[in-house]
């Protein structure tokens, strides 16, 4: 890669907007395109459509910051119902205790379902492999239904949808005043990232009509408020829920007509092999109406289509904790595109674990059977979290002796500042500035590193990566490990 210098600059907005609205114009190094021609700098002023899109993304980022920083006041009551149980030492329920706790949960749920005028069961990622959950999903009625008014509904939660290839999400029913039963592991941060369960849990909790079955714990209305029952047999409780729903009446599909077969085939079936989608092509495109992150959404959508065409191949993405990465996942959700991750990827987002994907990257490249399996893997992380966890150093080390069978790319957002991790506000902006511009400029001298200083270079890179994925799928390109730095 030949290095030349950009000469364009741009005034940055303040606070949340400044974290990414100027990604397309930061001063930095240029790289050569696939044919060896230096990428043309983008010097023209932004159009009204682009500025409008920038404002939308700035609002999304501001929402993330406000929700991340917001706390919840502890209620000053003698007893506040369902709360986390803090243990000083491990506590494992005995068989007898598990049977007793499970019986209490099952009896309570039977009465709740029978007494409730409506019930909405949502199957999360943790439960999608359950035989009981799958049987209920496959048996529910999806013909001639009104999903918003049917008393009994079953639907797939959004976290599960983000683990399968989808380029358009099916509509989801409104829970309304129904008893809400969620089977899976809820998380406020994950919900924020993928725009899922927005306010659904809080409202149901306040009205004592929320049930959550999660990893041996059942939260449910018991008496006058929500309570936690620890040490239950999840499968037995889920079996009771499904049996009670079927006994109550016809259980309807919660995503509208003509959507069930496609969604369940993606989850459980064997999709028909389709033709590979054409690689991304931005030739002649000026970028009008597009934000920097929209090109990444295009690439992720392309990967979803590749996964649909090659269901036997492993194509997965992992996303770290951070503002820009969260806005990216939110942009995918808003566009109806699956982030195409797996259960580990969801767990990383649930835990809001900074830098966790670096460990995952090392696992996929060095540990069998992952390292010996063909696949396309992508990792997205901010420069602060990446630097803190030695992400670049590890990746460069792995590149030098790369033997894995996968095509792997590490995407690093280089905006030179900590953001959501430190609840960035005006008074601490300078304190959290990262002086790493020269570090990434040095790295781009390596053949496996690309630095994108503006949208034109990012478009070119996304098109190039999609071409490489296409050739890799056809057996025309060897595995590789690359770094893409997105400057801004």
pLDDT digit string, tens, across residues 140-160: 998 877 877 899 999 999 999
Torsion angle defined by CA atoms of residues 46, 49, 52 and 53, in that order, rounded to the nearest 10 degrees? -90
DSSP-based three-state secondary structure for 294: helix
> Who has greater pLDDT, 414 or 378?
378
pLDDT in tens, 350-393: 988 788 999 999 999 999 999 999 999 999 998 888 888 899 99
pLDDT of residue 441: 85
* Bond preceding residue 369 cis, omega within 30 of 0: yes
When pLDDT is cut at 50, 70 and 90, the band that residue 430 belongs to is low
When pLDDT is cut at 50, 70 and 90, the band that residue 83 belongs to is low
d(CA 55, CA 52): 5
d(CA 253, CA 280): 35
pLDDT in tens, 58-68: 776 666 556 55
When pLDDT is cut at 50, 70 and 90, the band that residue 427 belongs to is low
pLDDT in tens, 105-127: 999 999 999 999 999 999 999 99
Please determine, for residue 336, whether its predicted confidence score (pLDDT) is greater than 80: yes
> Who has greater pLDDT, 321 or 307?
307
Q: 162-176, 268-282, 398-412: which range is least confident on average? A: 268-282
Q: Is 426 exposed, middle or buried (0-12, 13-18, 19+ CB in 10 A)?
A: exposed
pLDDT of residue 418: 62
The mean pLDDT value for 33-39 works out to: 42
d(CA 79, CA 361): 44
Please determine, for residue 431, whether its predicted confidence score (pLDDT) is greater than 90: no
**DSSP code for 328:** H
pLDDT of residue 97: 92
When pLDDT is cut at 50, 70 and 90, the band that residue 166 belongs to is very high
Please determine, for residue 244, whether its predicted confidence score (pLDDT) is greater than 70: yes
Which pairs count as long-range contacts for 461-465, CB under 8 Å and 24+ apart, including other chains? 462/280, 462/282, 462/295, 462/296, 462/298, 462/299, 463/279, 463/280, 463/281, 463/282, 464/33, 464/34, 465/299, 465/409
> Who has greater pLDDT, 237 or 191?
237
Q: 180-194, 304-318, 367-381: which range is least confident on average? A: 180-194
Q: 19-28, 237-246, 261-270: which range is least confident on average? A: 19-28
> Who has greater pLDDT, 226 or 420?
226
What average pLDDT is seen over the chain? 83
Please determine, for residue 72, whether its predicted confidence score (pLDDT) is greater than 60: no
pLDDT of residue 238: 96
In the sheet that holds 210-214, the strands lie side by side as 225-230, 217-222, 210-214, 179-183, 119-123, 152-156, 252-253
pLDDT of residue 82: 62
pLDDT of residue 69: 54
- Using a pLDDT cut of 70, give the percent of the chain over it: 80
């Amino acid at each position: 890669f030949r290095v030349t210098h950009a000469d364009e600059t741009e005034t940055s907005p303040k606070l949340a907007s400044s974290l990414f609205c100027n990604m397309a114009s930061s001063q930095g190094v240029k790289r050569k395109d696939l044919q060896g021609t230096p990428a043309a700098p983008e010097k023209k002023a932004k159009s009204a459509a682009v500025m409008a899109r920038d404002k939308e993304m700035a609002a999304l980022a501001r929402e993330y910051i406000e929700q991340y920083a917001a706390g919840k006041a502890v209620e000053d009551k003698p007893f506040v119902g369902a709360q986390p149980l803090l243990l000083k030492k491990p506590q494992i329920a005995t068989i007898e205790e598990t049977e007793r706790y499970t019986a209490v949960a099952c009896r309570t749920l039977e009465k709740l379902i029978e007494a409730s005028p409506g019930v909405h069961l949502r199957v999360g990622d943790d439960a999608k492999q359950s035989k009981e959950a799958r049987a209920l999903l496959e048996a529910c009625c999806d013909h001639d239904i009104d999903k918003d008014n049917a008393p009994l509904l079953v639907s797939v939660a959004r976290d599960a949808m983000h683990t399968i290839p989808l380029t358009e999400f099916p509509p989801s029913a409104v829970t309304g005043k129904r008893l809400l039963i969620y089977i899976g592991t809820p998380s406020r941060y994950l919900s924020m990232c993928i725009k899922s369960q927005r306010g659904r849990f809080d409202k149901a909790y306040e009205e004592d009509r929320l049930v959550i079955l999660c990893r041996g714990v059942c939260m449910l209305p018991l008496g006058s408020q929500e309570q936690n029952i620890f040490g239950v047999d999840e499968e037995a409780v889920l079996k009771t829920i499904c049996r009670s729903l079927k006994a109550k009446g016809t259980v309807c599909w919660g995503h509208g007509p003509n959507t069930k077969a496609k969604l369940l085939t993606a989850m459980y079936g064997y999709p028909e092999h389709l033709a590979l989608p054409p690689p991304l092509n931005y030739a002649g495109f000026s970028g009008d109406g597009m934000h920097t992150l929209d090109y990444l959404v295009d690439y992720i959508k392309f990967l979803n289509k590749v996964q649909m065409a090659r269901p036997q191949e492993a194509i997965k993405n992992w996303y770290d904790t951070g503002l820009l990465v969260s806005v990216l996942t939110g942009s995918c959700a808003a566009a109806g595109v699956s982030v195409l991750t797996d259960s580990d990827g969801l767990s990383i987002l649930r835990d809001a674990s900074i830098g966790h994907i670096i460990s995952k990257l090392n696992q996929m490249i060095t540990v069998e059977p992952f390292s010996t399996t063909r696949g396309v893997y992508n990792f997205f992380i901010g420069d602060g979290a990446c630097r803190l966890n030695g992400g670049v150093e590890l990746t460069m080390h792995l590149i030098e002796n790369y033997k894995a069978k996968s095509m792997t790319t590490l995407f690093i957002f280089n905006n030179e500042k900590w953001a959501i991790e430190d609840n960035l506000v005006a008074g601490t902006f300078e304190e959290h500035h990262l002086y790493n511009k020269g570090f990434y400029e040095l790295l781009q001298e390596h053949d496996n590193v690309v630095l994108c200083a503006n949208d034109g270079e990012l478009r070119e890179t996304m098109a190039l990566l999609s071409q490489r994925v296409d050739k890799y799928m056809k057996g025309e390109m060897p595995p590789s490990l690359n770094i893409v730095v997105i400057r801004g």
